[in-house]
Structure 1
Amino acid sequence: MKIQPHALSISNLLGTQNEQFLIPSYQRRYSWRPEQLYQLIDDLGMIETNEGHLLGSIVCLTGAHSGGLNTLELVDGQQRLTTISILLECLRERFEAEGNIDRVQEISRLLMCKTYDGPAMPKIKLDTMDAGEFKAHLEKPSGQGQSFLNDNLRKVFESAREWVSGQAPEDISKFTYKLISDAIIVRLDVSNAKDAFKLFETINNRGLKLSLTDIIKNFMLGNAARFGNDQLEAAKKSWSTLMSHLDGTDTDSFFRYFLISKLQARVTKSKVIEDFRWFFMSEVVEADILPDRGFYYWEEENEEDESGDADEAEVKLEAHANATTQITFKEFLENLVIAGKAFGELISGETGHKKIDRHLRNLRMIKATQAYGFLMHLRVGRIDDATFIKVLKLTENFLVRRHVCRERANETETLFAHLCEIDPQNPLQDLIESYRDYTPSDDKFQEDFASAQYPANIIERARYCLEQFEIAKHGTHQELAVLGSDEVHVEHIIPQKIQARRNRPEQEGWLAYLGDKAVHRHTRNVGRIGNLTLFAGTLNIMASNNPFEAQKSSYQKSSILLTKALGKQAHFRFAQVEARSKELAAVAVTQWPIP
């Protein structure tokens, strides 16, 4: 591996006019937060006079130097270099507003590049999904009237502008000098792609810890470089497409569920890197030329897994390794992109089919994470829409019962992993038989449903249940009115806090109204389904000795039948929570039946 290191000030790093740093499309979105920005600012602030400060390193994939524009592909360091460019842009804006032409020209020289007679271009060019938003932040500093997909980028721009604008003129001049002249970046130039990607994983930078996705990306691109330049370019393009499909999702989870769907066995997070590497080695024809142990080394954090499923995954991997049928690297990339598209649609609930998307929304609300590998298997296998809708409804029923009865999540995920063996073209019979074997009984479900608690982290599951009860009452006509309104939320009938606080009339009188041992009994009852309802808007409550009576008028005006019925209650204390929970539990048995 031939590496050319250069320790450069920001002025020297960005000062070569015919060099442009390219953040390629296969890189992830900008992911620093204001905390990392302020840490960088603090690091610069601690620089003593005439002393340098090392900000870290960047890895550049370089080509042959020419007299024209030389593009340096940034393999590592995009977060840091993007943040430095944001700071420079904000400093330039301030100096421009103050009329400090010399400083504006000095910073502009660092932010732009050009050939001898060519047009000026950005020194740091984003070719990622953030490119459009980065440009929008530059053109409209306030961001008014715009919505952004990358909230981290927005927050860092806002924080940088706020910090720069809040500094005294003398302080901002000192900071600018330290940033441009005293901050040191080690630039590592590598001419060979496979070496560049390998180097990425061996460097310990300040910045965010490498994600599973980062490591897999470098494994893929590093090995693609060993296959040849055409393969590398194809891998870069496929990775960019994959990341666009997965935008807004947890990409690390995708790779775990991808492996689950392929190995038909549960894969823990700590095993994803190792299992993906060996799956790749056994599947891809071109990998036969690679050393058995691959090219990268990393240490994984220990993760306990008492289920024993890791051994099952290893058996599956061994079976793949011994298989005689392999696919080309191109086919492997195509399969990965297809799976990524399916996963992105499942998570976002945007397949373009209204009924499917409604059920996907429901699964998201009940936290059906264990099912996504199996559902991805079906979508990749081209299950027809009508059958898929039936699968989704059966899966809703199955998971509601298992979640409410607090069945082991590992067991649920293992079941879904095994279900990936099912033929996507004809899944129902096998699916129904498996669900029946693992579905809690009616008696257990009814009992547990009545006593189940819904704290804040699973309140969407309660919303789902209440919505389904309401739909059953209203019928199809009112369904969209209930589910389509952003104003509809889950309301605690007896409030979450019953000890009166200043300016909180909804809490006045509840302690006295609820009677003996109110605080103790409140803890056991406030999160039960019988104490929850759907409500639109804000309750119009005044302080009262009978606080429920004060709420009734608001309930009576509601168009949601579940809520309107509360207006007929004479009282609502813990006994009513108990009775209503049992009443809804009896309905739940038929609402979510055993297959």
Structure 2
Amino acid sequence: MAIIKQAQRQTLGQLIGANNPVVTVPDDSQRQYAWTKKEVDIFWADIEKFKEARESGRESASEYFIGPVVTITGESIKGRSLLDGQQRLTTSTILISAIRDTLWSMKSTEGMSSANNIQRDYIARKSGRKEPMEYFLVMSLFDRDFFRDNIQDWNEATGECPKVESPSRPSHKLILDAYSNFRAKINARLQEYLDDEDRLDYLDSLRECLIDGLVFVEIQTPSSSDANEVFETINSRGKDLSTVDLVRNFLMEKSRSDNEKSRVNDAWRSLLDGFDRREEIEKFLRHFWVSKHGDVKSHSLYSTIRKDLTGRFDKRPQEYGVGAFSAELENAAGRYAELITGSTGDAGLDASLAEVKAMSADALYPLLLSASGSFSYSALQTLLEASISYYVRWTVVGRRESTLLEENLFGVAKELAKGGSLEGVNQKILAWIPDDETFETDFKEASIPKQSQSRYLLAKIEQYLRAQHDVHEEVALGDGKVYVENIYPQKPAPGLRLEEHESLVSRLGNLTLLAGKRNANISGLSFPEKAHLYSGSALLVSSRTAVDGLWDSEKSEWKVSGIEERQAILSKMALEVWPGGGRLT
């Protein structure tokens, strides 16, 4: 059980104000700044509601409880290490800086003086001319310098931060977005007041609400292991829980030396710099674990990782430690980034990886990650082609339960990680691919409402047609240069709607590709009004696959049989585009 020294009420001003122990986000725990516009907007709305209620004079509205923070506090209490609460304290500091800068921008003596006081009392100050700057909130190494450069290192003479460092991580951009958001919201509120006195009153009231009205419960713990246990308990439910954060904290807790902690930080720096979005890091972590250990669901990923690694780390003598795991994670992150972006350097493999991305076939990545750990990229082409055919025939077109496909692919990923042969795994996948007769039947009946998947299928058929007709220009799989067109419209003109409308509109026989951007006005036209778009198209899937068979020119109506006949034509091509196991061996 965790040891808690004390839990006490603290206002925001008592947590990050001058003459209080500095709050530091330690390098061996926590995450980078992660609040998006959604969380910032909610925070602002809550502050405004609280401000209005507080000014009403009701005693019950004098304080606003914003939640617990978990700190590691030494015996001397010279400083506090913050394990949980970074997002709220960071966002509060950003809002305080926005109030400071708004006051300064008014250019009045009182406004500029108030801005200086806010900076010295709640953000940062020097105790002497030759003394170093003291920051009341110290971020972790991933955001520390950028946060100081853009929020905290404020020049009292110019009213500006240096802003020298450019945003290089997603968290940096989120910090700037939060600041800009607050400045815009404050300026919008100030437009309601006619003179500077009223504006100064509003800003002073907003400052007071934050500093004296926001209340936290600070849970002080004596050690990082105690703080981690409290942190995990608090975050066991809800959005704040992050597997990436929890795994990093766990690794720091299990580190036996500064060198091991440094290896963890190196690995996390690679994750933060290697992926554009936090969601990609979360996805990578699961795929990394699955590639070695088989299937595990996202909701139980952290508990699974912790249990497994604790058993391995605690063995005596230790054969596998934090450093080794961090090195594996860092190495895999580099390969994973190359796989999801199709930048392996192998042209053939990268083209196939573009197909995986185009149809969002994420279930293939653990297998590819596992295989790339033991084999060269060039050796993976046959495996990837078989996996794509399996995925298309089973999931995209066949609409079969994806759970079995994932179970199969994750199982062979684990097999490769344990030293299995690439050829043996490839043969298993070939055996799982639905046969030609099944695939053709599935394709003839397939309805694909998901735009990314229907565009992918049609673009691949287009590539096949171009090869057959010796046309060498490439066609994009999904970058916006072509769009999916419903030949029989989603919103047909009055009197032309088919009885089976809902079941027909997304049938593959009713879909084609056109170049450029979608024109809604054209999409709803009858066939004679847009027939020239198909017959004159440079895309062969529109000009050479019996599109005109969907319209009965004698009766001036749409033909269900035309959709079915065209889909049968496309199904024959699909057998060649996504071959079965017999032709992939």
TM-score tier, shorter chain, comes to: 0.7 to 0.9
Q: Partner residue of 2:194?
A: none
Q: Residues 67-466 of structure 1: matches in 2 within 5 Å?
A: 72-99=80-107, 100-109=111-120, 110-114=122-126, 116=128, 117-120=130-133, 123-127=136-140, 149=170, 153=175, 156-168=178-190, 169=199, 170-190=201-221, 192-203=223-234, 208-224=239-255, 227-248=256-277, 249-263=279-293, 265-284=294-313, 287-288=314-315, 326-381=319-374, 383-403=375-395, 404-423=397-416, 427-455=421-449, 458-466=450-458
Q: Partner residue of 1:30?
A: 33
Q: Select which of 11, 19, 42 maps to 2:13.
A: 11
Q: Please give the alpha-carbon distance, in whole angstroms, between the structure 1 residues aligned to 2:268 and 2:168.
A: 26
Per-residue CA distance 1:96-116 (angstroms, 9 max, x = gap): 222211221122222224453
Q: Which moved more, 1:231-240 or 1:584-593?
A: 231-240
SS in 1 for 2:118: helix
Shift of residue 166, structure 1, vs aligned partner: 1.6
Shift of residue 74, structure 1, vs aligned partner: 3.0
Q: Which moved more, 1:476-485 or 1:6-15?
A: 476-485
Q: Is the 8 A contact 1:133 1:148 kept in 2?
A: no
Per-residue CA distance 1:99-142 (angstroms, 9 max, x = gap): 2112211222222244532354654444465668767976899x
**RMSD of the TM alignment (CA)?**
3.7
Q: Please give the alpha-carbon distance, in whole angstroms, between the structure 2 residues aligned to 1:569 and 1:529.
A: 15
Q: Please give the alpha-carbon distance, in whole angstroms, between the structure 2 residues aligned to 1:341 and 1:351.
A: 10
Q: Is the 8 A contact 2:513 2:542 kept in 1?
A: yes
Aligned partner letter, 2:461? F
Q: Is the 8 A contact 1:365 1:464 kept in 2?
A: yes
Shift of residue 391, structure 1, vs aligned partner: 1.7
Q: Partner residue of 1:548?
A: 527
For the structure 1 residues 172 and 115, does the alpha-carbon distance in structure 2 shift closer, same or farther, using more than 3 Å as the test?
A: closer
For the structure 1 residues 153 and 205, does the alpha-carbon distance in structure 2 shift closer, same or farther, using more than 3 Å as the test?
A: farther
SS in 2 for 1:210: coil
Is 2:567 the counterpart of 1:584? no
Q: Is the 8 A contact 1:4 1:190 kept in 2?
A: yes
Q: Is the 8 A contact 1:539 1:551 kept in 2?
A: no
Shift of residue 19, structure 1, vs aligned partner: 3.3
Q: What TM-score, normalized to structure 1?
A: 0.78
Q: Residues 424-573 of structure 1: matches in 2 within 5 Å?
A: 427-455=421-449, 458-475=450-467, 478-480=472-474, 482-483=476-477, 486-498=480-492, 509=493, 511-514=494-497, 518=498, 520-538=499-517, 547-565=526-544, 569=548, 572=551, 573=558
SS in 2 for 1:569: helix
Q: Is the 8 A contact 1:488 1:534 kept in 2?
A: yes
Q: Is the 8 A contact 2:71 2:84 kept in 1?
A: yes
Aligned partner letter, 1:11? G
Q: How many residues align?
A: 533
Q: Please give the alpha-carbon distance, in whole angstroms, between the structure 2 residues aligned to 1:386 and 1:440.
A: 26
SS in 2 for 1:163: helix
Q: What TM-score, normalized to structure 2?
A: 0.79
Q: Please give the alpha-carbon distance, in whole angstroms, between the structure 1 residues aligned to 2:312 and 2:276.
A: 26
Q: Please give the alpha-carbon distance, in whole angstroms, between the structure 2 residues aligned to 1:489 and 1:115.
A: 63
Q: Partner residue of 1:302?
A: none
Q: Is the 8 A contact 1:266 1:417 kept in 2?
A: yes
SS in 2 for 1:166: helix
Shift of residue 388, structure 1, vs aligned partner: 1.2
Q: Please give the alpha-carbon distance, in whole angstroms, between the structure 1 residues aligned to 2:522 and 2:416.
A: 61
SS in 2 for 1:512: coil
Shift of residue 24, structure 1, vs aligned partner: 3.9
Q: Please give the alpha-carbon distance, in whole angstroms, between the structure 2 residues aligned to 1:140 and 1:588.
A: 60
Q: Partner residue of 1:54?
A: 65
Shift of residue 541, structure 1, vs aligned partner: 7.8
SS in 2 for 1:106: helix
SS in 1 for 2:189: coil
Shift of residue 275, structure 1, vs aligned partner: 2.2
Gaps of 5+ in 2: 152-159, 191-198, 552-557
For the structure 1 residues 409 and 111, does the alpha-carbon distance in structure 2 shift closer, same or farther, using more than 3 Å as the test?
A: same
Aligned partner letter, 1:358? A
Gaps of 5+ in 1: 290-323, 499-508
For the structure 1 residues 385 and 479, does the alpha-carbon distance in structure 2 shift closer, same or farther, using more than 3 Å as the test?
A: farther
SS in 1 for 2:343: coil
- Between the aligned residues of both structures, percent identity stands at 23
Q: Please give the alpha-carbon distance, in whole angstroms, between the structure 1 residues aligned to 2:251 and 2:525.
A: 66
Shift of residue 423, structure 1, vs aligned partner: 4.7
SS in 2 for 1:489: strand
Q: Which moved more, 1:175-184 or 1:542-551?
A: 542-551
SS in 1 for 2:315: helix
